[in-house]
Amino acid sequence: MTKPVEEGHPSDDLSGFRRSLGEFATGVTVITTCVDGVCYGMTSNSFASVSLEPPLVLWSVKYESQSFPAFRDCSHFAVNVLADDQVDLSQNFARSGPDKFDGLAYRDGAGKCPVLAGIAASFECSLSEIHPGGDHLILVGQVERYARYDRQPLLFAKGRYAIAADHPETRVATDAAPAATEVPEAPTLAQLLGRAYGTVAHRLEQSRKTAGLGLTLMQARLLKTVQTYPDSTLQDLLPEIFLDFNASQNILESLEALDLLAIDEAGRVRLTEAGEDRINAVVEHTRTNEQDLFKGVPKEDLAAMQRVLERVVGNRG
């Protein structure tokens, strides 16, 4: 076996323990409830199935969460399994504060719990049992109604959002040719962008390791974001990072431990001199690898692609 990147007792390094837990990939859910006519919702990746007969599921809520009293006292809750194009929903419900449902499409489920539109699946549950679990309360629900839609799920692993893709070793080969009348469905632009992003990101991450730059994709992204928006707080940077606060906090702490970032008393983040040197090296390395990656693609096609992507980014609001 290779030497572990991190190891030890969780109490000695909670950040490292969190990062190790992040190696277990999960789906992303928004858990909702309604108490005294007020709707509550929070992002969670602790959802899990428990039993088929009876149909039981569970998730856990932190005692310190602002929504904790509502979920502790609720009679029902709904599990909304997010689809791969609902990162914004995940980030919306990961924040603290009211008005999370403003402008959102949803219907009333069991117990008037909101069931969000566009999700991959939903489970409307009556609260069956609660159990203390360290700094969390574990809620077990009996499923009264479920629904599944033709959507791809949103995933979360290694502190960042991800999408599902077939593993090369599980693809089934067939000798049978498709029928002449059968026309394969063309992928959507969103699917192509997602797959292209995954290909480029994987290539660059592997190349960074080979070059000894020692940064993950999300560490490099956070460094570049801080370079672009210096003296911003982590909360201010979240729209550019595409992660929820807790995941971003983990990455921030890892970069601070490497002395690449510094945080002042007001929570403003800036690059250290070492951080500035590292991200400049990463950017230069990325440019060199992009030239190799897109070698053979006509310059006019690359220019058109850049214009389209800049237009998409500019219109995201």
**CATH code: domain of residue 32:** 2.30.110.10
* 177, part of any domain: no
Looking up residue 269, the CATH number of its domain turns out to be: 1.10.10.10
* 174, part of any domain: no
Q: Please indicate, yes or no, whether residues 151 and 197 belong to a single structural domain of this protein.
A: no
Q: Please indicate, yes or no, whether residues 28 and 130 belong to a single structural domain of this protein.
A: yes
Rounded Cα gap, residues 90 and 28, in angstroms: 7
Range of the domain at 84: 14-157
Q: Please indicate, yes or no, whether residues 148 and 276 belong to a single structural domain of this protein.
A: no
Q: Please indicate, yes or no, whether residues 153 and 206 belong to a single structural domain of this protein.
A: no
Rounded Cα gap, residues 121 and 101, in angstroms: 19
What's the average model confidence in pLDDT over 5-33? 88
DSSP for 112-135 reads G-EEETT-SEEEEEEEEEEEEETT
Q: What average pLDDT is seen over the chain?
A: 85
Q: How many other β-carbons are positioned within 10 Å of the β-carbon of residue 168?
A: 6
Instruction: Report how many domains make up the chain.
Output: 2
* Residue 313 clears pLDDT 90, i.e. is over it: no
What's the average model confidence in pLDDT over 161-182? 60
Sequence-distant (6+) residues with CB within 8 A of 74 are: 33, 34, 35, 111, 113, 127
Q: Tell whether omega for the bond before 54 is within 30 degrees of 0, i.e. cis.
A: yes
* Residue 7 clears pLDDT 90, i.e. is over it: no
Report yes or no: 282 and 208 within 8 Å, Cβ to Cβ: yes
Q: Please indicate, yes or no, whether residues 135 and 215 belong to a single structural domain of this protein.
A: no
Note the pLDDT of residue 244. Answer: 65
What's the average model confidence in pLDDT over 39-67? 94
Q: Please indicate, yes or no, whether residues 152 and 23 belong to a single structural domain of this protein.
A: yes
CB-based burial label for 132 (10 Å; 0-12, 13-18, 19+): exposed
* 303, part of any domain: yes
Note the pLDDT of residue 172. Answer: 47
Choose the final residue of a domain: 104, 135, 157. 157
Q: Please indicate, yes or no, whether residues 118 and 198 belong to a single structural domain of this protein.
A: no
* Residue 75 clears pLDDT 80, i.e. is over it: yes
* 168, part of any domain: no
Report yes or no: 161 and 221 within 8 Å, Cβ to Cβ: no
Confidence tier at 181 by pLDDT (50, 70, 90):
low
* 164, part of any domain: no
Length of the chain: 317
Note the pLDDT of residue 81. Answer: 97
Q: Please indicate, yes or no, whether residues 241 and 137 belong to a single structural domain of this protein.
A: no
Choose the final residue of a domain: 133, 157, 181. 157
* 182, part of any domain: no
Q: Please indicate, yes or no, whether residues 143 and 218 belong to a single structural domain of this protein.
A: no
What's the average model confidence in pLDDT over 34-53? 94
Q: How many other β-carbons are positioned within 10 Å of the β-carbon of residue 220?
A: 23
Say how far residue 225 (Cα) sits from the centre of its chain.
17
| Residue 60 φ/ψ, nearest 5 degrees | -135, 145
HSE at residue 303, side-chain half, CA atoms within 13 A, is 3
Most confidently modeled of 213-217, 241-245, 276-280?
276-280
Q: Please indicate, yes or no, whether residues 38 and 142 belong to a single structural domain of this protein.
A: yes
* 8, part of any domain: no
Note the pLDDT of residue 167. Answer: 67
Rounded Cα gap, residues 250 and 129, in angstroms: 32
* 181, part of any domain: no
Q: Please indicate, yes or no, whether residues 148 and 203 belong to a single structural domain of this protein.
A: no
Confidence tier at 33 by pLDDT (50, 70, 90):
very high
Choose the final residue of a domain: 157, 174, 208. 157
Q: Please indicate, yes or no, whether residues 32 and 132 belong to a single structural domain of this protein.
A: yes
